[in-house]
């Protein structure tokens, strides 16, 4: 689009020189002689919003992405005028606006280092076909600059040298570099000279990003309509950039119920009821933990949403209850296409109330999906969302379904060019009527939002659980997501790893892949390796299309079943750790998975690493991505790491071989960490937690850890009924000190911790708990490395 040829430049128009400037509190308007206005809003000291109009008038300011809870306010704002430029100064940034051409450059306010600078800057092309502009921006790539983010792109973690398109697309069996696929998250983080900034281009039209592909020293982004409207987010830490982006576009509105972090089993499709029971019984029989079972489209009557097949599921309420009694939460799929059928109440209501999308000249948007010819609710209309949310009453309140799975919401349409709606379809867009060109990328998001509203209402006082395939920035407020129709191949295992990391870096942490691959069938080895990766993903579900054979943990023989069980058990042990990571994400916008670059951006070795990642704050994991492997080489970020299986200590800052036969995988714990563990349960809540295990990894020096708990469901935690334990560990050659600070009003069901000490370099002689001295006979010391201690201690010395 932005091409470096004379010919292509012809259509481009540019702002001319500034003729007026006005400031209104946090908003500055710069108007050029040819009628362009640049509006800069200071959201925060480190977040600036840039909007441009070429007509002298801004459109109604509305965004589906930005949350009303976004933080606003700054410590400092002053504007200086020089002969050739204006300079906007906050406590973090200096933004220069050239008087001659409206180009901007942003500097670190403290160090004056250049962070981000326009090349051509804002320019545009008029769109004769649709009216309005094709809006464009180009920036100078700084020396050594790298780029990360952009949602679900199945490319390497570092995006440098690549160009991408954003147009939410149903992408069955996509491959490495297929673009675009299911999600549009037009946000990236850039890193150069140890400093990171982010750009969020909040434009829902089809958009593009070019990271030094077209020209090696230029990054650019553009969209086929709408406004040049982007947020500049300064770090300098990458995790700050991501946290600030997540603050803008929203954190999950509540924590998931803990069971949603358990293991989920899915297939297209488990039916009839007897088959579902056979699967769930087998989990219990083989003692493989599992919390959720999914019903794909075949549970419905002729694929009509909100109906049940009388033949396959004659008594859903009874079945769902029986499953629940056995610890299984039932999750059902709901697609957007509503079957054209005058006898079908959902269709009738939609028609009577005028809730379906229409074409430009008035006819309904008719398209073929699973039920045959369908109409599609306009989820961009708040009244339609309200109606949709109420359709869930029976499913949730009456029948007892615990979660809803939104699929095909790109929206996908069969057998048509573009696999979706044509451009002319009309949408309400919250009272800003527009065509599908503008609404396409947010359609699935608004469907998931409407579904979420329903679940929230009818699952109350329990927490809702929703999963969506399509998404735009901000969708993380309402729902979890999966990476769509992947393939059972080793390459796809690596793609799943990268996509999960990338989604986390794009503000959307509640993500996982179809474990084992959706299309085709994995062999046992691939399935086992995928489970090993999957247990570290925030969302952990096996799913497959089913037309190539079975894909349950026991499908591949006893050896594989044992490996799969071992790792799912590990996930259940780690539930308090994962829940704490989720809480940090929901609270502070800190991604649950951290690519190594996000973990340590100062170490340039991390900038192109894709395989290794940090889960939560303390666990370094690296999947085995090849067949027949006995281990692999991996990079250890700086610091000291304990091999999870052997307690052997590895010094970071180097690449090393790690043994990992099929029943193992490279897992390392940061030294100084306290890792909380629950006992293995077959499902969340099976057992009352009678003791919290704390694995303590000795370190010379200091380290802090935290453990967040609450009732694991419900909303009491919002009223303060949670338990947050902050631990600080200080290790010396002959002493280990652990201090605990506890906050929150929730009383955990257990009274004691079982401390398991790893790597303690001395023999324990005595223990001092809150100033009282115990010889090791007094405490229940087990060998040299494990003992029980009251959960309320504040100060522990081990000597
Ligand atoms: O056209 O509902 O990505 O997870 O099993 C296929 C059937 C529709 C696509 C989803 C997949 C789901 C399948 N769906």
Closest CA to 678 of 768, 569, 763: 569
Minimum-distance ligand 1 atom for the alpha carbon of 407: 10
User: What is the whole-number distance in angstroms between the Cα of residue 550 and the centre of ligand 1?
Assistant: 16
Q: Identify whether 410 is a catalytic site residue.
A: yes
When pLDDT is averaged across residues 644-650 and rounded to a whole number, the result is 98
Minimum-distance ligand 1 atom for the alpha carbon of 335: 2
Whether residue 421 contacts residue 379, with contact meaning beta carbons closer than 8 Å, is answered with no
pLDDT at residue 7, rounded to an integer:
46
* Tens digits of residue pLDDT in 250-288: 999 999 999 999 999 999 999 999 999 999 999 999 999
Judged against a pLDDT cut of 90, whether residue 10 lies above it is answered with: no
- Give buried/exposed letters for 383-399 (b at 16+ CB in 10 A, else e): ebbebbbebbeebbeeb
Q: Per-residue confidence at 6, pLDDT binned at 50, 70, 90?
A: very low
* Tens digits of residue pLDDT in 717-755: 999 999 999 999 999 999 999 999 999 999 999 999 999
Judged against a pLDDT cut of 90, whether residue 232 lies above it is answered with: yes
pLDDT at residue 775, rounded to an integer:
77
Judged against a pLDDT cut of 50, whether residue 652 lies above it is answered with: yes
- Positive/negative CA dihedral, 442, 443, 446, 451: negative
Minimum-distance ligand 1 atom for the alpha carbon of 514: 4
SS3 of 510-552: the string is CEECEECCCECCCCHHHHHHHHHHHCCCCCEEECCCCECECCC
Task: Report the C-alpha gap between 412 and 165 in whole angstroms.
Answer: 18
Which secondary structure element, helix H or strand E, spans residue 81, and what is its range? Answer: strand 78-81
Given the structure tokens 């002053």, which residue do they identify? Answer: 78
The gap from C-alpha 220 to its chain's centroid, in whole angstroms, comes to 25
Task: Report the C-alpha gap between 111 and 289 in whole angstroms.
Answer: 53
Q: 772 CB contacts (<8 Å, ≥6 apart)?
A: none
pLDDT at residue 414, rounded to an integer:
98
pLDDT at residue 782, rounded to an integer:
64
Ligand 1 and 270: CB distance under 6 A: no
When pLDDT is averaged across residues 666-688 and rounded to a whole number, the result is 98
787 cis-preceded (ω within 30 degrees of 0):
no
When pLDDT is averaged across residues 227-248 and rounded to a whole number, the result is 98
Q: Per-residue confidence at 418, pLDDT binned at 50, 70, 90?
A: very high
Ligand 1: which of 296, 514, 542 to mutate, judged by most atoms within 8 Å of the beta carbon?
296
SS3 of 2-71: the string is CCCCHHHHCCCECCCCEEEEEEECCEEEEEECCCCEEEEEEEECCEEEEEEECCCCCCCCCCCCCCCCCC
Judged against a pLDDT cut of 80, whether residue 783 lies above it is answered with: no
Q: Identify whether 352 is a catalytic site residue.
A: no
Ligand 1 and 484: CB distance under 6 A: yes
Q: Among residues of the chain, what percentage have pLDDT more than 90?
A: 96
Task: Report the C-alpha gap between 416 and 98 in whole angstroms.
Answer: 47
Whether residue 39 contacts residue 150, with contact meaning beta carbons closer than 8 Å, is answered with no
When pLDDT is averaged across residues 430-439 and rounded to a whole number, the result is 98
pLDDT at residue 760, rounded to an integer:
95
pLDDT at residue 785, rounded to an integer:
86
The gap from C-alpha 364 to its chain's centroid, in whole angstroms, comes to 34
When pLDDT is averaged across residues 428-451 and rounded to a whole number, the result is 98
Ligand 1: which of 171, 183, 268 to mutate, judged by most atoms within 8 Å of the beta carbon?
268
When pLDDT is averaged across residues 33-40 and rounded to a whole number, the result is 98
When pLDDT is averaged across residues 335-349 and rounded to a whole number, the result is 98
Whether residue 524 contacts residue 532, with contact meaning beta carbons closer than 8 Å, is answered with no
Minimum-distance ligand 1 atom for the alpha carbon of 405: 4
Length of the chain (residues) = 799
The gap from C-alpha 644 to its chain's centroid, in whole angstroms, comes to 26
| Active-site pick, 240, 485, 573, 703 | 485
Judged against a pLDDT cut of 60, whether residue 97 lies above it is answered with: yes
Q: Identify whether 210 is a catalytic site residue.
A: no
Judged against a pLDDT cut of 70, whether residue 4 lies above it is answered with: no
Query: What pTM was estimated for this model as a whole?
Result: 0.98
Judged against a pLDDT cut of 50, whether residue 5 lies above it is answered with: no
Ligand 1: which of 485, 492, 539 to mutate, judged by most atoms within 8 Å of the beta carbon?
485
Judged against a pLDDT cut of 90, whether residue 216 lies above it is answered with: yes
Judged against a pLDDT cut of 70, whether residue 781 lies above it is answered with: no
* Tens digits of residue pLDDT in 114-162: 999 999 999 999 999 999 999 999 999 999 999 999 999 999 999 999 9
Ligand 1 and 296: CB distance under 6 A: yes
Judged against a pLDDT cut of 70, whether residue 2 lies above it is answered with: no
User: What is the whole-number distance in angstroms between the Cα of residue 171 and the centre of ligand 1?
Assistant: 11
Task: Report the C-alpha gap between 230 and 140 in whole angstroms.
Answer: 16
Whether residue 640 contacts residue 671, with contact meaning beta carbons closer than 8 Å, is answered with yes
Judged against a pLDDT cut of 80, whether residue 72 lies above it is answered with: yes
Q: Per-residue confidence at 548, pLDDT binned at 50, 70, 90?
A: confident
Write the CA distances from 491 to 157, 183, 538, 608, 664, integer angstroms.
14, 20, 21, 18, 20
Ligand 1 and 485: CB distance under 6 A: yes
Closest CA to 338 of 317, 364, 310: 364
């Amino acid at each position: 689009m932005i091409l470096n040829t004379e010919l292509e430049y012809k259509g481009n128009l540019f702002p001319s020189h500034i003729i007026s400037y006005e400031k209104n509190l946090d908003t500055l308007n710069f108007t050029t002689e040819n009628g362009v206005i640049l509006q800069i809003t200071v959201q925060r000291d480190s977040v600036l919003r840039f909007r441009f109009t070429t007509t002298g008038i801004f459109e109604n300011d509305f965004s589906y992405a930005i949350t009303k809870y976004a933080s606003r306010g700054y410590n400092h704002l002053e504007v200086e005028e020089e002969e050739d430029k204006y300079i906007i100064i906050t406590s973090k940034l200096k933004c220069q606006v050239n008087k001659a051409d409206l180009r901007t450059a942003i500097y670190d306010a403290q160090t004056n280092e250049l962070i981000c600078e326009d090349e051509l800057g804002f320019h545009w092309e008029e769109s004769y076909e649709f009216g309005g502009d094709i809006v464009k921006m180009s920036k100078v790539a700084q020396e050594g600059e790298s780029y990360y983010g952009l949602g679900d792109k199945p490319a390497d973690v570092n995006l440098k040298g690549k160009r991408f398109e954003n147009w939410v697309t149903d992408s069955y069996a996509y491959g490495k570099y297929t673009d675009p696929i299911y999600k549009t998250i037009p946000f990236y983080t850039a890193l150069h000279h140890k400093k990171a900034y982010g750009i969020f281009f909040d434009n829902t039209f089809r958009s593009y990003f070019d990271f030094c592909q077209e020209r090696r020293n230029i990054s650019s982004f553009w969209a086929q309509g709408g406004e040049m409207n982007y947020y500049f987010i300064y770090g300098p830490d990458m995790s700050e950039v991501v946290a600030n982006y997540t603050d803008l576009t929203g954190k999950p509105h509540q924590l998931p119920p803990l069971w949603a972090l358990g293991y989920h089993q899915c297939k297209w499709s488990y039916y009839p009821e007897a088959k579902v029971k056979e699967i769930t019984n087998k989990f219990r029989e083989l003692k493989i933990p599992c919390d959720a079972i999914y019903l794909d489209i075949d549970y419905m009557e002729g694929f009509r949403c909100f109906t049940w097949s009388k033949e396959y599921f004659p008594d859903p309420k009874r079945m769902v209850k029986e499953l629940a009694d056995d610890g299984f939460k039932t999750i059902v799929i709901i697609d957007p296409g509503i079957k054209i059928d005058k006898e079908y109440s959902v269709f009738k209501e939609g028609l009577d109330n005028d809730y379906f999308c229409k074409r430009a000249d008035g006819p309904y948007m008719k398209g073929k999906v699973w039920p045959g010819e369908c109409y599609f609710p306009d989820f961009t209309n708040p009244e339609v969302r309200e109606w949709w949310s109420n359709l869930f009453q029976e499913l949730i309140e009456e029948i007892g379904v615990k979660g809803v799975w939104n699929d095909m919401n790109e929206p996908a349409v069969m057998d048509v060019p573009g696999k979706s709606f044509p451009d002319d379809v009309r949408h309400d867009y919250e009272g800003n009527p527009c065509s599908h060109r503008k609404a396409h990328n947010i359609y699935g998001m608004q469907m998931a939002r409407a579904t979420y509203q329903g679940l929230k209402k009818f699952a109350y006082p329990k927490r809702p659980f929703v999963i969506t395939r399509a998404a735009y920035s901000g969708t993380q407020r309402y729902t979890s997501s999966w990476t769509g129709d992947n393939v059972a191949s080793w390459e796809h295992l690596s793609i799943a790893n990268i996509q999960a990391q990338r989604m986390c870096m794009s503000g959307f942490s509640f993500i996982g892949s179809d474990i084992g691959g959706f299309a085709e069938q994995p062999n046992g080895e691939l399935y086992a390796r995928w489970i090993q990766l999957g247990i570290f993903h925030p969302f952990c579900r096996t799913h497959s299309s089913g037309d190539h054979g079975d894909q349950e943990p026991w499908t591949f023989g006893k050896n594989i079943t044992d490996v799969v069980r071992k790792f799912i058990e590990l996930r259940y042990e780690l539930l308090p750790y994962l829940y704490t990571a989720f809480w940090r994400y929901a609270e502070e916008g800190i991604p649950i998975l951290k690519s190594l670059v996000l973990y340590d951006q100062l170490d340039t070795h991390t900038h192109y690493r894709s395989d290794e990642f940090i889960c939560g704050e303390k666990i370094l994991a690296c999947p085995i991505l090849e067949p027949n492997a006995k281990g692999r080489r991996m990079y250890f970020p700086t610091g000291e790491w304990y091999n999870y299986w052997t307690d052997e200590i590895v010094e970071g800052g180097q690449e090393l071989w790690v043994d990992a036969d099929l029943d193992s995988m490279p897992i390392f714990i940061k030294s100084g960490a306290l890792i909380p563990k629950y006992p293995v349960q077959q499902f969340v809540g099976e057992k009352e937690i009678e003791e919290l295990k704390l694995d303590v990894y000795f370190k010379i020096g200091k380290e802090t850890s935290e453990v967040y708990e609450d009732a694991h469901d419900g909303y009491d935690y919002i009223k303060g009924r949670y338990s947050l334990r902050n631990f600080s560990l200080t290790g010396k050659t002959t002493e280990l000190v652990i201090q605990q600070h506890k906050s929150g009003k929730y009383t955990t069901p257990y009274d004691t911790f079982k401390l398991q000490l790893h790597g303690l370099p001395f023999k324990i002689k005595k223990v001092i708990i809150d100033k009282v001295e115990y010889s090791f006979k007094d405490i229940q010391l087990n060998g040299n490395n494990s003992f029980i201690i009251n959960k309320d201690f504040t100060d522990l010395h081990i000597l």
